[in-house]
Chains A and B, each alone.
Chain A
Amino acid sequence: MSALEIELAEERVLLLPQKALFWPRERMLLIADIHFGKAASFRALGIPVPRGTTTENLASLDALIAAYGVQHIVFLGDFLHAKAAHASSTLRAMLAWRARHLQLRLTLVRGNHDRHAGDPSEQLRIEMVDEPHTIGPFSFCHHPDLPAPGYVLAGHVHPVYRLSSGWESLRLPCFVFGERRAILPSFGAFTGGHVIAPLPGERIFVTAEELIFPIEIR
Chain B
Amino acid sequence: MSKAAAAQQVDDWFARRAWKVFPFQRAVWKAAVAGESGLLHATTGSGKTFAVWFAALQRAMRTQKGRRKAGLRVLWITPMRALAADTLRALQESASELVPGWTVDARTGDTSSAARARQARHLPDTLITTPESLTLMLSKADAREQFNMLDMVIIDEWHELMGNKRGVQTQLALARLRQWNPALVVWGLSATLGNLERARHVLLGAEAGGVIVEGAIRKSLLVDTLIPENPSRFPWAGHLGIQMLQPVIEEIEQHATTLVFCNTRSQAELWYQHLLDARPDWAGIIALHHGSLDKEVRDWVELGLKKGQLKAVVCTSSLDLGVDFLPVERVLQIGSAKGIARLLQRAGRSGHAPGRVSRVTLVPTHTLELLEAAGAIQAVKDRDIEARPVAEKPLDVLVQHLVTIALGGGFRSEELLAEVRTAWSYRNLTDEEWQWALDFVARGGQSLTVYPEYRRVLPDEEGVYRVPDAAIGRRHRMGIGTIVSEAMIQVKYMSGGRLGTVEEGFISRLNKGDHFLFGGRILEFVRVHEMTAYVRRATGAKGAVPRWQGGKMPLSSELAHAALEQMRLATEGIYKGPEMRAIRPLLEVQQRWSSLPTPVSTVVESLHSREGHHLFIYPFAGRAVHIGLASLFAYRVGRARPTTFSIAVNDYGFELLAPESVAWPDVFSALEGRDVGLFSTEHLLEDVLASLNATELSQRRFREIARIAGLIFQGYPGQPKSNRQLQASSSLFFEVFRKHDAGNLLLTQAQREVLEQELELNRLRATLTELQSRRVSYHETARATPFGFALMVERFREKLTTEKLSDRVARVLRELEKAAGP
Residues of A participating in the B interface, judged by any CB pair closer than 8 Å: 38-53, 56, 81-82, 84, 87, 89, 162, 166-167, 171, 189-192, 195, 197
Minimum CB–CB distance from A16 to chain B (whole Å) comes to: 19
Which partner residue on chain A sits nearest B795 by CB separation?
A166
Asked if A189 contacts B736 (CB within 8 A), the reply is yes
Residues of B729-764 whose CB lies within 8 A of A: 729, 731-733, 736-737, 739-741, 744
Docked CA distance A195–B737 (Å): 23
B725 in complex: contacting residue of A48, A82, A89, A197, CB < 8 Å: A82
Residues of chain A within 8 A (CB-CB) of B739 are 52, 56, 189
Docked CA distance A137–B77 (Å): 67
Residues of chain A within 8 A (CB-CB) of B732 are 190-192
4 new A-B contacts, CB < 8 A, other than A46-B454, A48-B711, are A43-B454, A50-B744, A166-B799, A192-B732
Which partner residue on chain B sits nearest A195 by CB separation?
B508
Residues of chain A within 8 A (CB-CB) of B445 are 48, 50-51
Residues of chain A within 8 A (CB-CB) of B733 are 49
Docked CA distance A56–B740 (Å): 9
Which partner residue on chain B sits nearest A44 by CB separation?
B453
Minimum CB–CB distance from B704 to chain A (whole Å) comes to: 17
- B357 close to A (CB within 8 Å): no
- B142 close to A (CB within 8 Å): no
Docked CA distance A50–B725 (Å): 17
Asked if B725 contacts A45 (CB within 8 A), the reply is yes
Docked CA distance A189–B732 (Å): 9
Asked if B710 contacts A162 (CB within 8 A), the reply is no
Minimum CB–CB distance from B24 to chain A (whole Å) comes to: 49
Residues of chain B within 8 A (CB-CB) of A45 are 471-472, 725-726
Residues of B437-470 whose CB lies within 8 A of A: 440-441, 443-446, 449, 451-456, 469
Residues of chain A within 8 A (CB-CB) of B799 are 166
Minimum CB–CB distance from B487 to chain A (whole Å) comes to: 11
From known contacts A162-B508, A166-B798, infer whether A53 and B736 are also in contact, taking CB-CB under 8 Å.
yes
Asked if B740 contacts A52 (CB within 8 A), the reply is yes
For B455, B727, B732, which residue has the most chain A Cβ atoms within 10 angstroms? Answer: B732
Residues of chain B within 8 A (CB-CB) of A89 are 452
Residues of chain B within 8 A (CB-CB) of A47 are 456, 710-711, 713, 726
Minimum CB–CB distance from B616 to chain A (whole Å) comes to: 20
Minimum CB–CB distance from A38 to chain B (whole Å) comes to: 8
Asked if B453 contacts A40 (CB within 8 A), the reply is yes
Q: Give the 9 A-B residue pairs with the shortest CB-CB distance, closest first.
A: A52-B740, A50-B741, A46-B456, A48-B444, A43-B454, A50-B740, A46-B472, A44-B453, A192-B729
Docked CA distance A53–B451 (Å): 14
- B766 close to A (CB within 8 Å): no
Which partner residue on chain B sits nearest A164 by CB separation?
B509
Residues of chain A within 8 A (CB-CB) of B443 are 48
Asked if B449 contacts A42 (CB within 8 A), the reply is no
Docked CA distance A72–B453 (Å): 33
Which partner residue on chain A sits nearest B693 by CB separation?
A168
Docked CA distance A48–B399 (Å): 12
Which partner residue on chain A sits nearest B746 by CB separation?
A48
Residues of chain A within 8 A (CB-CB) of B456 are 46-48
Minimum CB–CB distance from B468 to chain A (whole Å) comes to: 10
Which partner residue on chain B sits nearest A46 by CB separation?
B456
